[in-house]
Structure 1
Amino acid sequence: MRFLLLAVPGLLALLMLSGCMKVSDMAEGTRYHLRDAGILDHSETRRSNSWRLQADSFIYIAQGHFVPPGDAYPRPNVVAEEAFSGFVEYFPMVRRARGPLGLEEALAEASAMGAHYLLYLRFAAADDRIGSFDELNDQRALDRLGVDSGVVQLMLVETGTRYLVDTARIRNRGGVLGIYDAKPEQLLRPPLQDYARRLLGLSR
């Protein structure tokens, strides 16, 4: 009887707490903690401005020639490709350069296409860690075991005035659940998609 009397207040508090919280909020909170603990992929975006764009903005996406140091060897235009895939859901008027371009070339192409903005990106860093038995057998370096990581830098430029609307730095880190045979470029799309949502004011 005493146990029941002690348990009832705690049970009521738990029911009240769960009644105040949506299931979606609980799920998002769980994902946040799993990312923070390194179980799921994690990214951190730092912007210089909180500028917002209209959904009908015409955005041209291009990637610089810069190749991240190290032994990752990502595809030459992979950041622009993943940015396009992340942006097209939110910005119907979005186009992508076919290959890496210098900044002046990218601005010229964006202006020629009538784009309002140029999203110019580069893969600043990429660390492709050993994440499979095959890679371990090839490299035989236990100190290279771990999760992949990378850094993307971007600029958002208004093509008509060449005004620098925003700059951002995105840091990616893989999670333990996705470690097997992963590559740093596989971490790119979710944070770039989140950046597109931020430009529309849909997330912080």
Structure 2
Amino acid sequence: MRNLVVLLALLALSGCMKVSDLGEGARYHLSDAGVLNHSETRRFNNLRVQPDSFIYIGQGSFVPAGGAYPRPNVVAEEAFQAFVEYFPLVRRAPAPLGLEQALGEARNAGAHYLLYARFARADDRIGNADEWADQEALDRLGVDSSVIQIMLIETSTRYLIDTATIRSRGGLLTMRDNKPEDLLGPPLEDYARSLLGVSR
């Protein structure tokens, strides 16, 4: 009898959940288990910015450790795609820049903030037949991973508003034909939302 009451209570509670909540929960658990792509963002400040802030996006020319060679400005490109949905005033540098040069470009553009990123690590593992033919190394089989570092700097004062590190790894179901840079979009979009203090 006691088991029946517990079962009925669980069924009643599960009936209150929306389908989207169940789907989000399943996606979270599958990504945490390594079946789907997974990312973890560590922000060092929890400050928010105004939605009408003008953000200029730049990327350093640092070549990531790990032996992968992504496109030179790929983090800035992905950040622009992620931020443009949430911030109407956003621009990006057309090519990698040093920090001082990026700050100068942001000031010249009239931006309130500079979002400056670098691709710290990129590990492009074997995920298809072409990559296997190139490398033929069993220890290189697996899922891709990446680490990017972000600084959000107020252009007028050079004050560091926020820093973040985003670690991403691919999943077993999503590893085919993927590259480390393919992992950047969703966590950058999450970061843009966190700057506004909104959830999905």
Which category describes the TM-score, using the shorter chain as reference length?
Answer: over 0.9
Partner of 1:135: 131
Gaps of 5+ in 1: none
Partner secondary structure for residue 95 of structure 2: coil
Change (3 A) 1:68 1:18: same
Partner of 2:31: 35
Partner of 1:94: 90
- 1:58-110 Cα shifts (integer Å, max 9, x gaps): 00000001011232110000000000000000001000000000000000000
Tell me the CA shift for residue 10 of structure 1.
Answer: 5.4
Distance 1:203 1:11 in 2: 32
1:85 to 81, 84, 95: 81
Q: Is 1:122 the counterpart of 2:135 in the alignment?
A: no
1:66 to 56, 62, 66: 62
Partner secondary structure for residue 111 of structure 1: helix
Distance 1:163 1:113 in 2: 18
Tell me the percent identity: 71
Provide the TM-score with structure 2 as the length reference: 0.95
Distance 1:135 1:43 in 2: 24
Provide the TM-score with structure 1 as the length reference: 0.94
Letter matched to residue 31 of structure 1: R
Partner secondary structure for residue 176 of structure 1: coil
Tell me the CA shift for residue 8 of structure 1.
Answer: 5.0
Partner secondary structure for residue 130 of structure 2: helix
Partner secondary structure for residue 76 of structure 1: coil
Partner secondary structure for residue 199 of structure 1: helix
Letter matched to residue 142 of structure 1: L
Distance 2:107 2:124 in 1: 36
Structure showing greater Rg: 1
Partner of 1:17: 13
Tell me the CA shift for residue 25 of structure 1.
Answer: 1.7
Partner of 1:110: 106
Partner of 1:184: 180
Partner of 1:165: 161
Single out whichever of 62-71 and 116-125 deviates more from structure 2: 62-71
Return structure 1 stretches of 4+ with deviation > 3 angstroms.
Answer: 5-11
Tell me the CA shift for residue 21 of structure 1.
Answer: 2.1
Say how many residue pairs are matched.
200
Partner secondary structure for residue 126 of structure 2: coil
Partner of 2:193: 197
